[in-house]
Structure 1
Amino acid sequence: MPPVDRSAHASCTGIVLAAGAGTRYGKPKALAENGAWLRSAITALRDGGCDPVIVALGATGPDPAPLGLPDGTEWRWVADWATGLAATVRAGLRAATETGTRYVAFLPVDIPDIGPDVVARVLAAARSSQSGLARAVFHNTPGHPVVIENKHWEAISASASGDSGAGSYLGGRQDMVCVTCDDLATGTDRDFPEVGAR
C-alpha cells in the first residue's frame, strides 16, 4: 500500500494584500467599488481552500470596521506599509507563521476576476510539488495567487525590500510550478478606475 500524501490536505493561510494607497487608482483599492474587490478576494481565498483568510491593511488605517469585512475574516495592521510591498509581505508571512499552517497564498486586492477555482488549482499544484511553490499564469505571464510552502518563508522575509515583495526570491527559482489559468480568469490587475466610474 503506497504511503498517504498528507501534503494534499496541508493547511494554507490566505493573505489579501490590501495595504497600498492605490495612488494611480485614486484611493486605496481595499475601498474600490465599495469594498467589492476586497470581499471578492476574501471569498476567492476562503472558498479556494484557505483557512484562515487574513487581510493585510495599511493606507485605510488600523480600524477595519469601515471595510465591513465578512464574518470570520482576520486582519493585520501593517504599520510600515508605506515603505513598500515588502513590509506587507513580511507581515503576511508573520501572520501565517502564527497560524501554524504549512502554506500561504498571496492574492492582491486589485485582481477582482480571480475566483476560488483559480486559488484551488494553484494550491493543489503547490501541495503536490516538491518545491512547495506554485503561481497562476495568464497568457504566459506570471500572476496571482502565489502559493508558498513554509520552508521558503524565512528566506523571502530576508530578501524582500521596498516594493519587491516575494519577487526577488521567487524570481530566481527554477522550481516554481507555473499553473495556467487562462480558462478561469484574465488575471489582470486594475491600476486605474474605469472611465466614468465614481
Structure 2
Amino acid sequence: MGRPKALVRDGTGRPWVDLAVATLLDGGCDDVVVVLGAAAREARLLIADRPAVRSTVAAHWASGLGSSLVAGIDAVTSAGDGVDAVLVSLVDLPDLPAAAVRRVLGPSAHRVSAARQATYAGRPGHPVLLGRKHWAPLVAGLRAVGDDPTRADRGAGSYLRSVGAEQVACDDLWDGRDHDRLPDPVQ
C-alpha cells in the first residue's frame, strides 16, 4: 500500500477509518473502539468526533493482527462498561455494508457466548463477533503467538476454527474483499 491504511481516503476523499466507524455504528454497534498503529497520531485526527467512538493504540502493531486485536479487547475490558461482545472489522474494508454488520451481530440474546464470522462465497472474512466468554482464551493464545517468533500471527482465524465459530453467509451483500491498493484519486 505504501502508507498506513488508516490514512487512506476513498475516491471522494473520505478517510477509510471514518467509513469503518460509520459502518459499524450504522450496523448496530453501540460503541466503537478504533485500534490504531502506524501513524496513530495522524489517523486519530481523521476519526469524526462522536460520543460513541474512542481510540487506542496497539503498541506492538507491527508484530501482526493479533496485537491490534489484543489492544482492542484490552481497551474494552479496561473501560469496565459491561460489554457482552465485540464486533471486529478492518479499516481496509471501505465497501463493507452495514447490513453485513447487522447480520453478524445477530440477535442480542446469548451474545456473551457467541462466536460468529462473516463468509463470502465460503471464504471467512469480516466482521467477526466475539462474545465475552471468548476474550480471555483468545487473548492468551494471541499473546503466546506474539511471544514465539517461530509462529506466524494470523489474528483470530485459528481460534475461530477451534471453537467452531458460526459461519454467517454475507455473499449476497458484498464480495468481502479487502483493499490492498490505494483507490484511484478523485478527478
| TM-score normalised by length of structure 1 | 0.78
Alignment of structure 1 residues 8-47 onto 2, 5 Å = 25-33=1-9, 34-47=13-26
Separation in structure 1 between the aligned mates of residue 62 and residue 108 of structure 2, nearest angstrom: 30
Deviations 1:150-191 (A, max 9, x none): 0010000011134322223112222x1111111211110011
2:95 match: 113
- Aligned pair 1:158/2:140, yes or no? yes
Deviations 1:87-109 (A, max 9, x none): 11101111222232000000000
| 3-state secondary structure, aligned to 1:135 | strand
| 3-state secondary structure, aligned to 2:88 | strand
Tell me which amino acid in the other structure corresponds to 1:168: S
1:11 match: none
Alpha-carbon offset, residue 36 of structure 1: 2.7
Q: CA 1:57–1:65 in 2, change beyond 3 Å: closer, same or farther?
A: closer
1:177 match: 166
| 3-state secondary structure, aligned to 2:40 | coil
Alignment of structure 1 residues 135-146 onto 2, 5 Å = 135-146=117-128
1:91 match: 71
1:75 match: 55
Residue identity over aligned pairs, in percent, reads: 38
Tell me which amino acid in the other structure corresponds to 1:173: V
Alpha-carbon offset, residue 50 of structure 1: 1.0
Matched-pair contact (CA < 8 Å) for 1:126–1:148? no
Tell me which amino acid in the other structure corresponds to 1:30: A
Matched-pair contact (CA < 8 Å) for 1:126–1:134? no
1:51 match: 30
Matched-pair contact (CA < 8 Å) for 1:122–1:134? yes
Matched-pair contact (CA < 8 Å) for 2:118–2:124? yes
Moved more, 149-158 or 34-43: 34-43
Matched-pair contact (CA < 8 Å) for 2:7–2:43? no
| 3-state secondary structure, aligned to 1:67 | coil
Moved more, 147-156 or 81-90: 81-90
2:149 match: none
Alpha-carbon offset, residue 138 of structure 1: 0.5
Separation in structure 2 between the aligned mates of residue 100 and residue 164 of structure 1, nearest angstrom: 28
Deviations 1:20-60 (A, max 9, x none): xxxxx111111111553211110111111112111001101
Separation in structure 2 between the aligned mates of residue 177 and residue 126 of structure 1, nearest angstrom: 15
Matched-pair contact (CA < 8 Å) for 1:105–1:146? yes
Separation in structure 2 between the aligned mates of residue 130 and residue 153 of structure 1, nearest angstrom: 10
Aligned residues: 172
